[in-house]
Amino acid sequence: MWQRGVWYGDRMSDVAGYQLAQVNVARLREPLTSPLLADFVAALEPINALADRSPGFVWRLQTEAGDATDVRLFDDDLLLVNMSTWASLAALADYVYHSEHTAVMRRRRTWFAPIAGVYVALWWVAAGHRPTPAEAATRLRLLEARGPSPDAFTFRAPFPPPGSSAPLPAREGDLCPA
């Protein structure tokens, strides 16, 4: 898709043999079993199902339980991790900022404590690659240490896939409305 004369990526197909990986972490205010988190826990399955059927969705980290609430990225039992891959930056942005997912994001302050530092990182992977939690932790650390770069970036400061010379500006409306 072209936006303001710049290629932003197709929502449905791989961009130059690459897919977009994303990781985001959130620190729970209380354990998942607490009444405070009941609405969040109830939203997990429908929001994951929405992601699974969204245009451009490729893969998400999950255990046999169907989510990633038992996966630990760092040594913190209250830190949840979410990882997925998408056909393009546009496809991920459409899911995150232009679907029912936005309503859940608007309630995040109820369920999650603020995190000092980076909590979302994006990076390009070869099509079909499934990033590991260790890779995701590395990308978060890179973004924290260096700021946005081709190795780890954000929606506000995106980078094109390797081998592409077209810049990827942030699209208006693809920034957190919550």
pLDDT at site 177? 47
In a domain, 51, yes or no: yes
- List, for residues 119-135, the tens digit of each pLDDT value: 999 999 999 999 999 99
pLDDT at site 107? 86
In a domain, 7, yes or no: no
In a domain, 76, yes or no: yes
- List, for residues 67-118, the tens digit of each pLDDT value: 777 788 788 889 999 999 999 999 999 999 887 777 788 888 999 999 999 9
In a domain, 171, yes or no: no
Q: Is the dihedral of CA 74, 24, 106, 40 positive or negative?
A: negative
In a domain, 26, yes or no: yes
Task: Yes or no: say if 144 and 82 are a contact pair by the CB < 8 Å rule.
Answer: no
In a domain, 172, yes or no: no
Domain harbouring 72, CATH code: 3.30.70.100
Task: Yes or no: say if 160 and 50 are a contact pair by the CB < 8 Å rule.
Answer: no
The residues that bridge with 27 in the sheet, in sequence order, are 79, 113
Give the list of residues 6+ apart from residue 140 with CB closer than 8 angstroms, or none: 23, 25, 73, 118, 119, 121, 152
Domain with 67, as residue range(s), is 14-146
Mean pLDDT of 162-176: 61
Domain total in the chain: 1
Q: For the stretch 105-137, what's the b/e string if a residue is b when 16 or more beta carbons lie within 10 angstroms of its beta carbon?
A: eeeeeebbeeeeebbbbbbbbebeeebebebbb
In a domain, 90, yes or no: yes
Report the predicted TM-score, pTM, of the whole model to 2 decimal places. 0.85
In a domain, 156, yes or no: no
The lowest-confidence range among 54-63, 66-75, 160-169 is 160-169
